[in-house]
Structure 1
Amino acid sequence: MLAVGLDKVGLEVYDTTTWRRTHQVSVDCAVLGVAFSPDGQQVVSGGNNGAVRLWDCTNGEGIFVMEGHLKRVQCVAFSPCGKQIASASNDGTVRLWDSETGRCTFVLKGHTGHVMSVKYSVDGRQLVSGGLDATIRFWNPETGEPGVVWISSLGEVWSLAFSGDGRWIASGHEDGGLQFWHALSGEPGPVLRGHTGTVKGIAFSPDSRRIASSSEDETMRLWDASTGTLAFMTASHKDYVNDVAFSPNDLQIASGGGDGKVRLWEVDSVLSSSMEAQGQLGPVYKAVYSPNGQVILTDSGSRTVKQWDSLTGALLPLPIELPDSLSTNAVSYSLDGIPVALSIHDETIRLLEIQEGGAETGGPTHKTISCLAFSTTGDRLAVCSWNSTVWIFDSQSGGLVTSKELDQWTSVMSFSPNDQQLATASSTSEPWIHLWDLQSEKPAIELRGHTESIACIAYSPCGQWIVSSSHDKTVRLWSQQQPPGESESWSCVYTVNGFFGLVSTMAWSPTVPMEFVTGCEDQSVRVWRVSTDGEDITVKMLWGTNLGVLYAGGSVLKGTTGLSLISRHLLIQRGAIDDTLPLEDSGGLEVEELEVDSGSEECSE
């Protein structure tokens, strides 16, 4: 069974064999924590009104309400024997309750801030709690006596988990770190880095081989517990991921988010998918085609440039690593795929010629660079500073060719194919794109349509199309409209949705007409094809890596067999297979995306 605590409507319980919702319980507060009894017959919940409630899973009726906390209850836990319940609260206390009578047996005091998590050891002899006072405290659940106190160097403790073998404790912190601790000695172990927001949920797999984490950075991550390496990451949720849990058989992971969805993942499929991705982890900040269009280069901000087959998406050998000393705040690739311009934090611009053996540096110097752009021929480099001035340099000699004062601070630039026009936009001001004639003092055209600031602009090789991306997580396709005798104009003809992060980079293929690549902070690299049929314009994805959701591409498969129940429901829901199993059989539950009426406070167990 799967229990889901909801921000607005209370508690829901689902049968994981049929994915029917068996119970829906309404309460007058947000449910912030849920836990099953060891026999699965009861579920305990904690709410933001300070109450702890015990429910009967067979009929969905409340057994009793345990009151005593003065503020919201952040976490609840059943003891392994099922006779005791622990609750952690913002009032700075942990309370222990008799699960048979509902009587409070102990009030555990010691934390000096909100207590965010509480967990029993595997044998039930110890209770551990973590709080915003940066401490992890041990208690004797039989006597209520305090034990050792660990102080975390990573700061506030938001989540805790015991490994199934009892050897490790993992703690999640505000800075995005996951700290391992030796459960017996208390010695701190490895720190796992990757999350950029508070780690709100942690769960060890039943066999202790893996650990799942969820965060305010809208991602769920799966780690190898023995090596600390990241095995899988998804940014499929569109809000905080508040909790994560493994199924008892170790086959599935559930994640619950502030976007009102519970997502279910099959562990074997997740690991297979991550292997197929062949190591392209992290947000994609830059992508460019090689001159012959056969290779795509991507940069994820880790100083490593990876190469992909532009036709199949296969990772090619010999990724190029930039020098460790380079810390960049702006980067631009020449269209011939070889020279790279970087703005370094030491306030210089360097031109690099990337080779398998390394990189050579040199070039013009200027301060406070916000963005860079090569001309189509590669012999000009446009540099924009934070004071809204654009300098255009000769990329060979480093000499200044011309400069232009813009009306606003600019963080995005792109040359038109004939190098006579420059598209500019800001990532912090109005979401408008300005097209400048380099011979004029004012922008000739203004493109409006995005609802948030612009992240990237790219002209097609023919100059008739522009693609742009925005913090609104969309890509827009613009077409040049120029009837005879009229001045140049542009209009948005298509909007691409379905991204789970900012599309930070785009590039058109130099050899395949109407094909472009996108790199996204959701870790995906995708290649798209623009098709025109009279007045109808469509944009379809050809391939993608590290996709957070299924992409069916308009295909409907018939007579499918051998699918697991989750995959079967998911494919029917997405319209990818034609099958006789109606979605109504799921009891209203969308497997992979369980729609619940929830806000930002949600957790799953």
Structure 2
Amino acid sequence: MEKKRVAVPLVCHGHSRPVVDLFYSPITPDGFFLISASKDSSPMLRNGETGDWIGTFEGHKGAVWSCCLDTNALRAASASADFTAKIWDALTGDELHSFEHKHIVRACAFSEDTHLLLTGGVEKILRIYDLNRPDAPPREVDKSPGTVRTVAWLHSDQTILSSCTDMGGVRLWDIRSGNMVQTLETKSSVTSAEVSQDGRYITTADGSTVKFWDANHFGLVKSFNMPCTVESASLEPKYGNKFISGGEDMWVRLFDFHTGEEIACNKGHHGPVHCVRFSPGGESYASGSEDGTIRIWQTGPEHEDESHMANGISGKVKVPATEEVSRKIEGFHISDEGKSKEKEEATA
């Protein structure tokens, strides 16, 4: 592997406040997509390959802490400090459902089969909404011991995991019984938990360590000490041979999964990095920062060409002119690009 490359990222502007969560869709017939959550209350959808802005989901009245897309990238979900989780039509930008909570919602995740939405937050309750019956009361599993920070599904929607903002560990819950069945012990609170694309590993960031857990037997596979406090980590999905981390030192680092050796250190953000995620094919990865920007970095040197430089909103990169992508863009409710409204922001 080539050492210490100087990477030139795609810089995606548009958010007026810190970017706190990123999520890539799987590869769909239309390509793949990137959704971002920000304290500016307006999640944004982008072309995952080029970073080009597609549209903004408007309707939240507080900071948006978490966002995700379903398996087909047809619907989006967002969790907000305005005490709601919302479901959106990812083709038109329309709000489909708004699920009221009694406090700040910090995390949300679609089930693999796309029929369920999992939420968690300051109420310390994990709720499961049936999207086929959105007006029905949600199912609640055993009470979380602390404020929920992250949630995810695994084992073909038979298990859910969550971490807390105010204590260490990742807790696993059996969907059938609703009971907590396992805790993955960490010293610091887990700020990022990702299930690998092949379902083999759970990648966590806690304090200044990145850990990899066996997702089936729950043993600790690897633990690497990072150069600073990290907030997020992500495993390369195709080969599983690299991982990325981002944190308070503003840099996005690429490591060898087997040895923990640093392969690249990407500089460019002007504030702490809150979230990092690999694209579904592993050819690039995105980082979101306190500085309000998203940066998309190419994994391999073969992609590092100045023609790839683009502003995320200006659309200088040509999007493949497929009917599907055109349909997504034409149908979306386009707001004033880059112009942020003064919005009430609630913070945790």
The TM-score, its normalising length taken from structure 2, stands at: 0.74
| Alignment partners' CA distance in 2, 1:121 and 1:13 | 25
In structure 1, the residue matched to 2:74 is 41
Q: Which residue of structure 2 aligns with residue 266 of structure 1?
A: 298
Distance 1:204 1:104 in 2: 35
Tell me if the contact between 1:9 and 1:597 (Cα under 8 Å) persists in the aligned partners: no
SS in 2 for 1:38: coil
Identical aligned pairs, as a percentage? 20
Which letter does structure 2 place at the counterpart of 1:232?
A
Q: Does 1:4 align with 2:36?
A: yes
Q: Which residue of 2 aligns with 1:202?
A: 233
Q: 1:115 aligns with which of 138, 148, 168?
A: 148
Residue type at the aligned position of 2:232: G
Matches within 5 A, 1:206-245: 206-207=237-238, 208-245=240-277
CA distance in 1 between partners of 2:40 and 2:115 (Å): 29
Structure 1 residues 130 and 195: CA distance shift in structure 2, 3 A: farther
| SS of alignment partner, residue 138 of structure 2 | strand
Q: Which residue of 2 aligns with 1:166?
A: 199
Quickly say closer, same or farther: Cα 1:143–1:230, change in 2 above 3 A: same
Q: Residues 23, 150 of structure 1: CA spacing in aligned structure 2 closer, same or farther, 3 A cutoff?
A: same
Contact 1:190 1:228 in 2 (8 A): no
Distance 1:67 1:178, change over 3 A: same
Say which one has the larger Rg: 1
Q: In structure 2, what residue type is equivalent to 1:237?
A: H
What pairs with 1:477-516 in structure 2 (closer than 5 Å)?
A: none
Tell whether 2:186 aligns with 1:139: no
Matches within 5 A, 1:26-425: 26=58, 27-68=60-101, 70-102=102-134, 103-121=136-154, 123-131=156-164, 132-152=166-186, 154-173=187-206, 175-197=207-229, 199-207=230-238, 208-269=240-301
Count of aligned positions: 289
- Unpaired runs of at least 5, structure 2: 1-32, 320-328, 330-336
1:387-430 CA deviation, whole Å, 9 max, x = no partner? xxxxxxxxxxxxxxxxxxxxxxxxxxxxxxxxxxxxxxxxxxxx
CA contact (8 A) 1:6 1:597 kept: no
Q: CA deviation at 1:33?
A: 0.6
1:252 CA drift (Å): 1.4
Task: Indicate how the Cα distance of structure 1 residues 251 and 146 shifts in structure 2: closer, same or farther if over 3 A, else same.
Answer: same
| SS at 2:307 equivalent | helix
AA matched with 1:263: R
User: Which amino acid in structure 1 is aligned with residue 217 of structure 2?
Assistant: S
User: Any conservation in 2 of the 1:85–1:97 contact (CA below 8 Å)?
Assistant: yes
Higher relative contact order (CA 8 A, sep 6+): 2
- Cα RMSD for the two superposed structures: 3.0
Displacement of 1:179 in angstroms is 2.0
- Using the size of structure 1 for normalisation, the TM-score is 0.44
2: CA distance between counterparts of 1:229 and 1:43? Answer: 36
How far is the alpha carbon of 1:144 from its aligned partner?
2.5
Q: Take 1:259 and 1:201, find their aligned partners in 2: how far apart are those partners?
A: 16
- State whether residues 48 and 279 of structure 2, in contact with CA within 8 Å, keep that contact through their aligned partners in structure 1: no
